Structure 1
Amino acid sequence: MKTFEVIKNGEGENYNYSQDHCFIKLSSRHTNGELSFVEDTLKPGFYLARHHHKIMTEIFYILKGEVELIFDDQTVIAKPGDTVTVPPNVWHAASCKDGGKMLSIFLKGQFDLYLEHLSKMSESDFEDAELMKSVSAEFDIYEE
C-alpha cells in the first residue's frame, strides 16, 4: 500500500493548451473528488471567460507574473505571493497579459478530470457550443 507520493518539478499529468500549460500535482482521483491541485503556466494573452461554480471553491496562489481576476464589482491584480480564494457561486474571469505561473487548488472539484476530458476532444467538439456547455456543466463550470 502506498503511503505517500512525490511528483517532481515538470512531472504530473501534462496538458499543454493554447493558453496555458498545466501539470496535475494532485488528482481528485486520490482524494475521493474532494481536492485537486494544478501547477498552471499561463501563456501571454491568457484569458479565462467569466464563469462560476455551484460546488467548487477555487484557490489561486500566484508564483510569477500578474494575474487579473475580474469579479462583478471588483478587479484584483494578483502578484507573486498573493492568494485569491473564489467560493462557489461567485462569477469570475481571469487574464494574464504577459504570462505567469500559479498554483490552483480546487476544493470539492474535479478540474483535473475536466482537463483530461478536454484533452480527448476533437477540434469539432470544441466548436460545438452545446457540447462544450454540457461538458463544462458536468465538471461544475457554468458560463453565461
Structure 2
Amino acid sequence: MVKIWNENNGAAAALVVRPEEAEHVALPHGGGFRLLSDAVDTGGALGANRLTLGEGADGARPHYHALSTELFYVLDGAVEFLVGDTMASVGQGSLVVVPPKVPHAFGAAAGCTADLLAVLTPGVDRFEYFRALGRIQHGLDPFGSLLPEQDRYDVHFLDPTTWQSLRTP
C-alpha cells in the first residue's frame, strides 16, 4: 500500500493498493475478502473490499448501516440482493447503492459464483470485522461474538428469516 501525498498542501493523499498487497481473508466456500482500504487509510472517506463468493454462497445476512452508504459493483457472476422488502437479481456490470438505515442482504445466485467490489462511505475501520467473519465462517468463533461490536463496525444485524425464505434454492 502506498500513500501519495499531494505536493500542493501535503494534507491529502492518494492511495494505491496493488493486488498482492491486499490482505486475503479466506471463506470456506472457496471465496474470500480482499481488504483494500480501511477508513484509517483514506482519512475516513471510505472503506473498500473485494468479495468473491462460491456458488450460491451468502455474502451478508440482513443488516443495515446507521451512518454509511454501501456501494456494490458486480465484477463477475450473479448476485441476489434483498434491499428493504425487494429481492433483485443482478449480474456482471450491475451497481447497487444502499443508503444508510436501509436493510439489505446479498449472496451469490444459486449455481453461480460472484465477484463484488464493495465500498462503504463514509468509511468505518472494518478490517477486523472481515477477519472476524472469516473466523465465524470457518467455525472458529460464534456469530454472537459480533453482536457487541455492531456500533463499532456500523453493521446492525436483523432477523434473517425473510432473506432465508426468499433465497433461490
What TM-score, normalized by structure 1, do the two folds share? 0.83
Hey, what does 2:39 align to over in structure 1? 28
Hey, what does 1:8 align to over in structure 2? 18
- Whether 1:88 aligns to 2:103 is no
Gaps of 5+ in 1: none
Is the Cα–Cα contact under 8 Å of residues 53 and 140 in structure 1 kept in the other structure? yes
Quick one: distance in 2 between partners of 1:113 and 1:32? 17
Letter of the aligned partner of 1:16 in structure 2?
A
Residue of 127, 141, 144 corresponding to 2:142:
127
Task: After TM superposition, list the pairs within 5 Å mapping 1:64-79 onto structure 2.
Answer: 64-79=76-91
Hey, what does 1:115 align to over in structure 2? 130
Hey, what does 1:52 align to over in structure 2? 64
Q: Secondary structure at the match of 2:19?
A: coil
- Whether 1:61 aligns to 2:88 is no
- Whether 1:142 aligns to 2:153 is no
Overall identity of the aligned pairs, in %: 24
State the 1:95 CA deviation.
Answer: 1.6
Q: Secondary structure at the match of 1:65?
A: strand
Residue of 109, 114, 119 corresponding to 1:105:
119
State the 1:18 CA deviation.
Answer: 2.5
Post-superposition Cα deviations, 1:70-121, rounded to whole Å, max 9, x if no partner, equal: 1233111111111100010001111213211011111123233422455678
Query: Over alpha carbons, which structure has the higher Rg?
Result: 2
Q: Label 1:50 to 1:9 Cα distance change in 2 as closer, same or farther (>3 A).
A: same
Hey, what does 1:42 align to over in structure 2? 53
Is the Cα–Cα contact under 8 Å of residues 37 and 47 in structure 2 kept in the other structure? yes
Q: Which segments of structure 1 move beyond 6 Å, counting only runs of 4 or more? A: none
Q: Secondary structure at the match of 1:115?
A: helix
Is the Cα–Cα contact under 8 Å of residues 53 and 142 in structure 1 kept in the other structure? yes
Q: Label 1:50 to 1:119 Cα distance change in 2 as closer, same or farther (>3 A).
A: closer
- The number of residue pairs the alignment matches comes to 142
Quick one: distance in 2 between partners of 1:24 and 1:117? 13
Quick one: distance in 1 between partners of 2:42 and 2:147? 26
Q: Label 1:28 to 1:76 Cα distance change in 2 as closer, same or farther (>3 A).
A: same
Gaps of 5+ in 2: 5-13, 159-169
Bigger relative contact order, structure 1 or 2 (CA pairs below 8 A, ≥6 apart) = 1
